[in-house]
Amino acid sequence: MKFLDAEFVKGFQRMAFDGWEQGWHERNGGNLTYRVKPEEVEEVKENFEPREWAPIGTSVPKLAGEYFLTTGSGKYMRNIYIKAEETFGMIEVDDKGENYRTVWGLKGARPTSELPSHLMNHEVKKEVTNGRYRVIYHCHPTNTIALTFVLPLSDEVFTRELWEMATECPVVFPDGIGVVPWMVPGGRDIAVATSKLMRKYDVAIWAHHGMFAAGEDFDLTFGLMHTVEKSAEILVKVLSMSDHKAQTITPDDFRHLAKDFHVTLPERFLYEKKSSKIVYDPSEIQ
């Protein structure tokens, strides 16, 4: 089978281009990785042309021997179809989880500069989901980034405010959302901070930068990112009209919702607010 004819490759391309069309990938912003299933590797193995091994920049021993689709460093998501072999490729992780080599694509390119963050998050999600999660997605959604300038950089605040914006939100991301304070992207420190949050959440917001999401497949992961960003857009619009809510979803409303939809919502996100004001300081969290 030709590499680009494989269904998992087509799904990867579609997700990347859908993000471009949402406006989440200005210039070469954002990146996407997918942990390839063994049977999918076999489907396209005849196309491989392995290159030299190179250091990952971190150690991910639980991903030893795994293969990943990854977008390229400095590449534009809008070119995912028209310049496929230059824009993304497949890499293999060595038997120690310390090095990688490109086996297809990435002509004249390297994997995303966020590769350490992606692989550390893949390692965590593989462990905590018993291997179910295979997608890590990073993009720059406008409204979510805007909120990092006006809301406290708190897991509790971001989760609660975004839950209140749309009834489906606590059902789509019942575990909540993590927030990483501003850090230099691409390095080990931000990778470690994000992977710690990914033990608890499927979404991590990078302050003033963007968002990371993890999921089982392309549709679920893209849908999660889309839901969070739509909720953020509603909150931005509410804030543009007033800094107070006339009415909202209450903690007891959330508890009733959780019971009917059979999800568990952590009580730490269901704190009683002192006022209806949206822009508040962390001391208002009880």
Verify whether residue 114 is a known catalytic residue: yes
In angstroms, the CA 217 to CA 35 distance is: 10
Task: Assess contact for 163 and 170: CB atoms under 8 A.
Answer: yes
Q: Tell me the three-class secondary structure of the chain, residue by residue.
A: CCHHHCHHHHHHHHHHHHHHHHCCCCCCCCEEEEECCHHHHHHHHHHCCCCCCEECCCCCHHHCCCEEEEEECCCCHHHCCCCHHHHEEEEEECCCCCEEEEEEECCCCCECCCHHHHHHHHHHHHHHCCCCCCEEEEECCHHHHHHCCCCCCCHHHHHHHHHHHCCCHHHHCCCCCEEECCCCCCCHHHHHHHHHHCCCCCEEEECCCEEEEEECCHHHHHHHHHHHHHHHHHHHHHHHHCCECCCCCCHHHHHHHHHHHCCCCCHHHCCCCCCCECCCCHHHCC
In angstroms, the CA 236 to CA 118 distance is: 29
In angstroms, the CA 10 to CA 7 distance is: 5
Instruction: Given the residues 66, 92, 114, 123, select the one marked as catalytic.
Output: 114
In angstroms, the CA 110 to CA 186 distance is: 13
Q: Which residues are known to be catalytic?
A: 114
